[in-house]
Structure 1
């Protein structure tokens, strides 16, 4: 779920960047920005991939806050969030110099009080949700109201206290490591950065490694020998474990980093950089949950063939659930399914709905007024879910 948003940053997330007193392992420091070429340089030779990639949730995972990137409505009648406290509201407004979230106490309607902050960064493609950040000098904070894609509405940012409006949740480097491509950190405090160093969106080099040397070689008069000197990583050529480690950087849960962020590069061992916890097979799905660990807990994973890219092509826009069934059927005969005798070929496109169903998240919980809302997320442990299977069977029989 690459494109998971920062919605629960701060819900149990560290205020500091790394595990206290834990010795850093792996690479001693992040590569300098000069080691990176940027997406425009990649597109010179990889135009096909570049054109499709810019439309993906990864590429759109963070962006400047403008009309093109903020999905919530600023129209009167749709731009006010009422909290569980009838006197506390948040208004989302468009002003001449930008978009704002304004938390207000209206207990005295004639003299409302509160605080307003401009929306500076949008986090999340909006496929599920978006949350928003603001700068206070060189410190970065999360705003109290997010956009909820499931209901296409404004909601209290998950983890924020109901009935209150807070503007003090810091955005630490571990958050930006998975929702951006580069930044320069000015610790302390943990959420202090060089503002113009922040590169938004997930760029090519997050998965392919720093590419400045590769670009220089390709542009040189003497072309490099592709067998000996590419100076770039093709994730498809990494080992099975290295491919999983690469995705685990941002899809292994809200874990504590070991040392500073941005040090991990494709091909590294992820446990040198993150304290990854074992997955609980019974745990409900979570956008910040251990999706890789859930996959590893699947019986299918024992074949030794499956990685995240077995189903996900990150260069293209996410497929729908029905189309993913084709991936299952490269290994599983349709007739081997226990439901085939009663439902026949109608099950051909329903593998995911049965074996990786959408489930309520226990962690991504928010509210609008008195209504509590749970994020609906795809399970990544491939298994038999009896309730989901029964729902699919009932649906197919009804048609």
Structure 2
């Protein structure tokens, strides 16, 4: 390849892996104008609620006296969560120094990450720097817990939020690095919005609003319908966040639906039979499933991202699109109930080993749905 050709190729590659400006996005409100029914259901999903501004409604933890404190492995350290008179919220570390002096360190709760289905973690701004707070909320126990990544019994508020974190918990942001956790606060768009799966929509909206008809070009050309992508590109849209942390090959937010994810993220090689975590390797686990290998299924075969889906019995009906009740060995003993137990038995809830919190000597790990569809003897319906 000649030098001029290499230069053109490098320029094209650079453009491909460069995030678009915020102006390329229309925002969820613009989508609502034409897709009201879908948008109104989507706002209740875990994707949409994965990051929010801190408020009495968005924070699930209790601020009531007696329920707003966290004891740690260090008897000289406790944390207290408070709802302030001005409507703000704080986390305070109360600790005893080596000289016996009582000290306090307080930071605001500015942002909420996590829909609350399993828990929530909270963030705070220090100027343009974004940090994780040391206390999170555990939904199962309805209690405050030590935040993942923080050492139990220490009074630190210094865990930085990297762009890779926001890429799966926000719709848009602009990095001002260095340092790695410096962002433009005015351009942070919270939640996973419509355009994370459908691509930037400002041009699509512009064409739709043109009058009179016909419009120059097709509105369909300016938006992505993931259902019309081929199988691998459909899965790539989900794998960006549901295949674990890989090695970034491009700037965050440069991947767009329809792109080849491998050009943007290098996922670690998975050896046959190697243990995979139910939290960080959902796509890899699905790919190991016989159901996946013997069909053309994708994530959307079972999941409708526009709807809140928490009814496991209802999701089991998806299995019956390919399988019959009579094919299950338990059919004769559970003829009526078996049709609602597919997911419970063949995609059981199991503990994650990569997502955990250490609390006074106890390790808390959430249960996550195993996406390797298989026969698990210990979960077989009885």
Q: Same fold (TM over 0.5)?
A: yes
> Are 1:141 and 2:163 counterparts?
no
Indicate the residue corresponding to 1:158 in structure 2.
148
CA contact (8 A) 1:246 1:266 kept: yes
1:61-210 aligned at under 5 Å gives the runs 61-97=50-86, 98-106=88-96, 111-210=101-200
- Between stretches 324-333 and 369-378, larger displacement belongs to 369-378
Indicate the residue corresponding to 1:14 in structure 2.
none
1:358-399 deviations in Å (ceiling 9; x for gaps): 01111222133343211111101101111111xx31xxxxxx
Superposed displacement of residue 85, structure 1: 1.2
1:243-282 aligned at under 5 Å gives the runs 243-279=234-270
Indicate the residue corresponding to 2:306 in structure 1.
315
- Between stretches 315-324 and 186-195, larger displacement belongs to 315-324
> Are 1:353 and 2:344 counterparts?
yes
Indicate the residue corresponding to 2:38 in structure 1.
49
1-side partners of 2:241 and 2:357: how far apart? 22
1-side partners of 2:97 and 2:66: how far apart? 20
2-side partners of 1:351 and 1:188: how far apart? 49
2-side partners of 1:66 and 1:178: how far apart? 21
> Are 1:331 and 2:322 counterparts?
yes
CA contact (8 A) 1:25 1:273 kept: no
CA contact (8 A) 1:257 1:275 kept: yes
Change (3 A) 1:224 1:312: farther
Residue ranges of structure 1 left out of the alignment (5+ in a row): 1-23, 394-399
Give the RMSD, CA atoms, in angstroms: 2.0
2:354 to 343, 360, 363: 363
2-side partners of 1:107 and 1:370: how far apart? 22
Residue ranges of structure 2 left out of the alignment (5+ in a row): 1-12
CA contact (8 A) 1:138 1:192 kept: yes
1:48-81 deviations in Å (ceiling 9; x for gaps): 0011111111111101011110000011100111
Change (3 A) 1:258 1:296: same
2-side partners of 1:296 and 1:81: how far apart? 41
2-side partners of 1:190 and 1:329: how far apart? 47
Superposed displacement of residue 109, structure 1: 12
CA contact (8 A) 2:96 2:103 kept: yes
Aligned-partner SS, 2:165: helix
1-side partners of 2:334 and 2:204: how far apart? 53
Aligned-partner SS, 1:190: coil
CA contact (8 A) 1:286 1:377 kept: yes
CA contact (8 A) 1:285 1:377 kept: no
Question: Please, what TM-score do these two structures have when normalized by structure 1?
Answer: 0.88
1:375 to 362, 366, 373: 366
Change (3 A) 1:286 1:224: farther
Change (3 A) 1:286 1:336: closer
Aligned-partner SS, 1:342: coil
1:278-325 deviations in Å (ceiling 9; x for gaps): 4465535443x1211110111110133211111111111113111111
CA contact (8 A) 1:89 1:106 kept: no
1-side partners of 2:292 and 2:354: how far apart? 26
CA contact (8 A) 1:132 1:143 kept: yes
Change (3 A) 1:359 1:349: same
Change (3 A) 1:172 1:223: farther
Superposed displacement of residue 196, structure 1: 0.8
Aligned-partner SS, 2:354: strand
Question: Please, what TM-score do these two structures have when normalized by structure 2?
Answer: 0.91
1-side partners of 2:362 and 2:69: how far apart? 15
1-side partners of 2:379 and 2:65: how far apart? 40
1-side partners of 2:81 and 2:101: how far apart? 19
Aligned-partner SS, 1:154: strand
